[in-house]
Structure 1
Amino acid sequence: MTTTAPGTIPVVLSGRALLSLRDSGHNFPSAVGEVIDNSLESDANNIEILTETETQNRKKALSRIVFIDDGSGMDDDTLHHYLQLGFSRRYMSEKTIGKFGVGAKLAGLSVGIRIDAWSRVAGSDKIRHVAFDLDEALKAEANGDIASIAPPDDEPLPADLEPYFPTGSGTVVMWSKIDRVTDSEGRSTPDHVIVELKKELARIFRAFLGGGIRISVDGMPLKPHDPTFRQKGTWAEQVLTEHLKATGKEVGDFRGQVFHDKIVKVEGTTHKVRVVITLAPPEVVRGKGAGRDALAIKLRVPENEGAISFMRLDREINYNLVAKLFPDGVKTKDRYIGFEVHFTPELDRMMGVRNVKRGAVPSDGLRRTLKTIANNVIPGIREEIDRIWSQADRDDAKNSGEHNSLAHSIKDADRTMPKSRAKSNLTEAQIEKEYVNLAKDAGRDRSEEEKAAYVEEIKDLPFVIETVDVPGDDLFQLTHLEGQTLIRLNERHVFYQELYEPLKVLSKQQNSSSEAPATARRAIQAITLLLVAYAKAESMHETPVDQYKELRKWWGTFTDQYLTKINHIL
């Protein structure tokens, strides 16, 4: 059936359809990425993004976004169809980044009302222009006309953009009448959205940036951001170099450790994908609790926790969690693990790739394949992280004596307080063994001399507090001796990892202009005193283990469950 037959109507009211399609699933960085894709497909080596702001209702907002590339440009026929939904010279190609013919059009309209494009091909002295304005299309339909795209014309570039146009071939795309730009948290102020744009583009196009393609935003060239830490010349490399120089430490080669890099067959199919799993370098992993500090945030480490990067022809199309993929769930330490899945466009259907090239939902077969690899590889990486953290603890004496001054202060305060009534049936040799075990748990046994000095140091303290690695879900463990209680604070417990440890990191920050470090130190001491006071209360009973062991266990279990369930508000 054609539209020329009597009584027929258009299959689609183009203007209204495009109005609906503005909610196509794009966020601002993914929309911008669609235009960059076109530039890359046209063999551009330099891509410049310029933003312009204006004041609207007393608030600054983006008013114009311009893309300039030095690619091959578009002839009149291609330029005329550039803004036509569904048109693509590479339609459904399995060898190119784009293939659906809708990306750049929907991307522009997801952000603003009007799209203009100017282009020049090699050997031509003319810059040609096309435009589409959604408001005009809606008006045309309201008047009974068909929303259409006029042929290319000679409308000149805006005067302020003329200096940017390449001397040879190239293209300028301009989005204007901007009305729908926000960052991931819903903020629309230009500063926020531009910062997020730079961050996202640096990761999405990291392979191209690392290969020499220049992408800049408002004159600032982007450095690639590689969550796997395999590339050179990255954002992380710059940040780490500056940090180590400032702290007087040696600057090295910041490469991630590769634990898996293989082409694997997808279960139940003949398809193959490449799976890369890495561990960030020790300079990034550092010590336990450092994953939330200022350096970690600058390195973008927290956002990597459990994230998997899906790379389609070296262009990232998704960076997010895949449910139930990591063994035993996602752990805090997993933020140091880089996880990439590389595939080619012929696997788009299996990968759940949408026409906006944003998001990937792997098929059941691929999910099972990735889960098997994760189960085989990630536990070993977690063990290596524990080893690095343990070494850092030893090198920095992080845990050694961290509660020492508090324990001695408690000893002084305890002189005038009720004394322990807990009975111990241990012999002198068994008590000595308890001290030796605690020295080992606290990392104070690197030599016989150190171990002996530690045991001698703690013998006269009514309470000995150490942060140790305890299996299970106990928040802490108590060992009541005759007139003394050993307190083991469990660093595996979610309370320690999510609350206590971040306070420790904050307390060590050198920032004279902020009261936060001092407040964090007081909070740590207060929490520790609560544990000591509980231990003191237990010691008032002659058989505290029989009386309170179950209570203590349930306390740790319920604390874990509550923190896990309501962590979003803490």
Structure 2
Amino acid sequence: MSDNFTTSETAELIKADTALRSLRDSGFTLADAIGELVDNPLDSGAKNVRIGYRVEDRKVGRKKNTRRFLSALAVSDDGTGIPPNILPQTLTVGFSTRYGSRTTVGRYGVGFKLATISQCQRLEVYTRPRYLKAVRANRDAGEQWAHQEDNVDGRVFRSYLDLAEIADGTQCGYEVEEVDGFPEEFAHLMPEGEFGTLVVWRKLDRLNDDKSFGSTVDEKLSGIEFFLRRAYRRYLDGGLNIEWQVGDAKDDVPELKSLAPYDPTFRLDDPESYWIANDERPKGEPVRTMEGEEVETGTVTVDGEEVTWRVYLTPKETRWQKGGGGVEGPCEGEERLFKRLYIPENAGKISFLRRGREISYTTVPRFLPGGVDKIDRYIGVEVEFPPALDEYFDVRHVKRGAEPVEKLRDQLRNAIIRPVKEARDRVRKLWKENRPESTGGDLTGGRSYVSSLAAAAKASSPSGLAGRGITAEEEETRLRQAAELAGVTDPAKQVEFVERARQKPFALFEGAWPGKSLLDVAHLTNTLAVTINRRHPFVKSVYQPLADAVRDGVDPDEAVRLLESAKDGIDLLLCAYAMAENRNAEDPDEDFGDLREDLGRFAAVLADRWANRQE
């Protein structure tokens, strides 16, 4: 082979058609992709962002029925617009007037383009720029640009990208053309005379995926509004107006509504949360502010830049009592009042904010002390950092899934351990303060599930011998005695207690009386009533601590101790039964053999029902 080998052949730097098609799978969800279209206006000084779309009905295959398809989606803003001399370049992957910036939302020059082609095949950009020319201010200073020549006539320009045309060679580059105005179906998003930009997606093949397991258009669009409210909550609170289309628009100009911020920490003013809390407020009840409760705020310094962390609690109304789940209010008749506040979905989530824009809302392994607890739905944790620290949070061109590198994660975790535990303690303290009385209302003492399970097992078992000959007067006397043991002394309430107990095939009560009796069992005509003695040493030392822990919660170390105590307590209870047999019979096998068998059989039935319960 000759050492002087030469060739006149050259290779393309990139094969545009296949490269762009490969880049369609860049990990963008629809929400992420729309977020990229909203990010650009934030850096161009926009005060208003409007999002609209068009749908149409199409036949699929030979079927007579039609399906709803999205024919176009558009995002507008009233920022400074894009000078026509650089408009085509904005479609080039890698180009950005803010490339490498450590102070802006945009940085890489790829997100907007990749987000678009991840959802559709055609992108159109219309702009009415404030200036007609953009020039580099100082080539030695990187991507710094200056603007020249005012657009006094309000001229409108367009450029586009079409994957099908690139593939067949029709489009070999991006060009700019002057047009008469914005496309008619989205002209309402750009009021006459305003400067700004309109981005239009067409040929939405990915969004209109009609595969059998693909989500429908409605399903894909349903979460966008909430995503925008949460991700841009700081900007919305600071004056940015984002408007989202209400309903379809096939022919008429659609209605747009301004979005209110959704703050999982409930520290920002959210008119919708306030309305939800107060619209159905019982007459005479005080107005609910629905403001979150700050627990603690701190900072961690990395390379001279500050990372700020914050721990908050949701409003007291959402965590009033244990069992409300963040969806029930503190007053009667308010079942699931706060369902639309998304509190249950927040459990264990960490909100990562980059320059005020949330780029990730997710659980982070080994971040919260002891792991994620259900009680954490009432706790909001924010971590905010500047773009200068992107590498420390593994931020790439897709602004999602941010997670601190291991060393920083450990620093942040150590910082929030104490305030998160403090937040959990505050929730449990409030639950304890508002703990409902078990007497008069819930006859089970908080054991409604066990009572219903035992009742179902009793109903499917052979009838017992006890209680067959008891009279109605004797039954009422026994139930009134159970009411007194449970602390119900008012005669009228005792009548209610008796009537409710008679309706239950199996009833569990709590009472308190002196002596060593653990249980009082009343074998009635249709009811098997068991009253547990709260004053018994076994209940006080073994059972009650477990009940308190279930109700109020405990830290992991205390939970392990309680589990060990429960195991030993069950063993002691079985030993106590064996000692009772020994005390009361010369031949326990003869006298208590059937009882033993029935005890084991009923325990197996109940345990099987419990193991197969629906969570």
- Fold in common (TM above 0.5): yes
User: What residue in structure 1 maps to residue 295 of structure 2?
Assistant: 259
Bigger drift between 257-266 and 329-338 goes to: 257-266
For residues 377-392 of structure 1, the aligned pairs below 5 Å read: 377-392=419-434
User: What residue in structure 1 maps to residue 324 of structure 2?
Assistant: 290
Q: Which of 10, 27, 30 is the equivalent residue of 2:29? A: 27
Are the structure 2 counterparts of residues 312 and 352 from structure 1 closer, same or farther at C-alpha, using a change threshold of 3 Å?
same
Bigger drift between 186-195 and 294-303 goes to: 186-195
How far apart are 1:350 and its partner, in Å?
0.5
Does structure 2 conserve the Cα–Cα contact (< 8 Å) formed by 1:309 and 1:319? yes
User: Does 2:532 match 1:486?
Assistant: yes
User: What residue in structure 1 maps to residue 251 of structure 2?
Assistant: none
- Measure, in 2, the Cα distance between the counterparts of 1:236 and 1:155: 43
User: What residue in structure 1 maps to residue 563 of structure 2?
Assistant: none
Which string of whole-angstrom CA distances, capped at 9 and with x for unpartnered residues, describes residues 103-135 of structure 1? 111111111110001111224221010000011
- Measure, in 1, the Cα distance between the counterparts of 2:601 and 2:308: 50
Q: Which of 309, 325, 347 is the equivalent residue of 1:275? A: 309
How far apart are 1:220 and its partner, in Å?
1.3
TM-score w.r.t. length of structure 1: 0.72
How far apart are 1:400 and its partner, in Å?
5.7
Does structure 2 conserve the Cα–Cα contact (< 8 Å) formed by 1:206 and 1:225? yes
User: What residue in structure 1 maps to residue 351 of structure 2?
Assistant: 309
SS of 2:427's equivalent in the other structure is helix
User: Does 2:176 match 1:151?
Assistant: yes
- Measure, in 1, the Cα distance between the counterparts of 2:338 and 2:17: 46
SS of 1:9's equivalent in the other structure is coil
Q: Which of 156, 180, 189 is the equivalent residue of 1:164? A: 189
- Measure, in 2, the Cα distance between the counterparts of 1:90 and 1:382: 43
Does structure 1 conserve the Cα–Cα contact (< 8 Å) formed by 2:236 and 2:260? yes
How far apart are 1:342 and its partner, in Å?
0.4
TM-score w.r.t. length of structure 2: 0.67
SS of 2:26's equivalent in the other structure is coil
User: What residue in structure 1 maps to residue 375 of structure 2?
Assistant: 333
SS of 2:86's equivalent in the other structure is helix
- Measure, in 1, the Cα distance between the counterparts of 2:324 and 2:156: 53
Amino acid at match of 1:83: L
Q: Which of 127, 131, 136 is the equivalent residue of 2:156? A: 127
- Measure, in 2, the Cα distance between the counterparts of 1:186 and 1:249: 48
User: Does 2:43 match 1:41?
Assistant: yes
User: Does 2:400 match 1:363?
Assistant: no
- Aligned-residue sequence identity (percent) comes to 29
Does structure 2 conserve the Cα–Cα contact (< 8 Å) formed by 1:256 and 1:280? yes
How far apart are 1:308 and its partner, in Å?
0.4
CA RMSD of aligned residues (A): 4.5
SS of 2:85's equivalent in the other structure is helix
Does structure 2 conserve the Cα–Cα contact (< 8 Å) formed by 1:91 and 1:101? yes
User: Does 2:387 match 1:345?
Assistant: yes
User: What residue in structure 2 maps to residue 531 of structure 1?
Assistant: none
Are the structure 2 counterparts of residues 463 and 168 from structure 1 closer, same or farther at C-alpha, using a change threshold of 3 Å?
closer
How far apart are 1:11 and its partner, in Å?
3.0
How far apart are 1:187 and its partner, in Å?
5.8
Q: Which of 12, 18, 26 is the equivalent residue of 1:10? A: 12
User: What residue in structure 1 maps to residue 258 of structure 2?
Assistant: 221
Are the structure 2 counterparts of residues 382 and 399 from structure 1 closer, same or farther at C-alpha, using a change threshold of 3 Å?
farther
SS of 1:384's equivalent in the other structure is helix
Amino acid at match of 2:84: D
- Measure, in 2, the Cα distance between the counterparts of 1:381 and 1:555: 40
- Measure, in 2, the Cα distance between the counterparts of 1:169 and 1:155: 15
- Measure, in 2, the Cα distance between the counterparts of 1:556 and 1:386: 31
Does structure 2 conserve the Cα–Cα contact (< 8 Å) formed by 1:480 and 1:539? no
Which string of whole-angstrom CA distances, capped at 9 and with x for unpartnered residues, describes residues 323-367 of structure 1? 121222211111111110000011100101110111102111121
User: What residue in structure 2 maps to residue 85 of structure 1?
Assistant: 93
Does structure 2 conserve the Cα–Cα contact (< 8 Å) formed by 1:49 and 1:216? yes
- Measure, in 1, the Cα distance between the counterparts of 2:103 and 2:128: 25
How far apart are 1:379 and its partner, in Å?
1.8
For residues 516-535 of structure 1, the aligned pairs below 5 Å read: none
Does structure 2 conserve the Cα–Cα contact (< 8 Å) formed by 1:68 and 1:173? yes
User: What residue in structure 1 maps to residue 277 of structure 2?
Assistant: 240
Aligned length: 473
User: What residue in structure 1 maps to residue 443 of structure 2?
Assistant: 403
How far apart are 1:287 and its partner, in Å?
2.2
Which string of whole-angstrom CA distances, capped at 9 and with x for unpartnered residues, describes residues 533-561 of structure 1? xx9xx9999559x9999999999999999
- Measure, in 2, the Cα distance between the counterparts of 1:99 and 1:315: 14
User: What residue in structure 1 maps to residue 508 of structure 2?
Assistant: 465
How far apart are 1:313 and its partner, in Å?
0.4
User: What residue in structure 1 maps to residue 233 of structure 2?
Assistant: 206
SS of 1:76's equivalent in the other structure is coil
- Measure, in 2, the Cα distance between the counterparts of 1:343 and 1:205: 15
- Structure ranking higher in helix proportion: 1
Which string of whole-angstrom CA distances, capped at 9 and with x for unpartnered residues, describes residues 368-397 of structure 1? 122213321222211211222233333xx4
Does structure 2 conserve the Cα–Cα contact (< 8 Å) formed by 1:463 and 1:486? no
- Measure, in 2, the Cα distance between the counterparts of 1:74 and 1:466: 74
- Measure, in 1, the Cα distance between the counterparts of 2:577 and 2:316: 43
Q: Which of 178, 196, 200 is the equivalent residue of 2:223? A: 196
SS of 2:118's equivalent in the other structure is helix
Amino acid at match of 1:205: Y
How far apart are 1:172 and its partner, in Å?
0.7
- Measure, in 1, the Cα distance between the counterparts of 2:551 and 2:216: 36
- Measure, in 2, the Cα distance between the counterparts of 1:223 and 1:400: 43
How far apart are 1:151 and its partner, in Å?
3.1
SS of 1:88's equivalent in the other structure is coil
- Measure, in 2, the Cα distance between the counterparts of 1:321 and 1:173: 33
**Structure 2: runs of 5+ lacking an equivalent:** 1-6, 61-65, 131-149, 246-255, 328-335, 468-481, 512-516, 523-529, 534-542, 554-572, 582-591
User: Does 2:205 match 1:179?
Assistant: yes
User: Does 2:116 match 1:108?
Assistant: yes
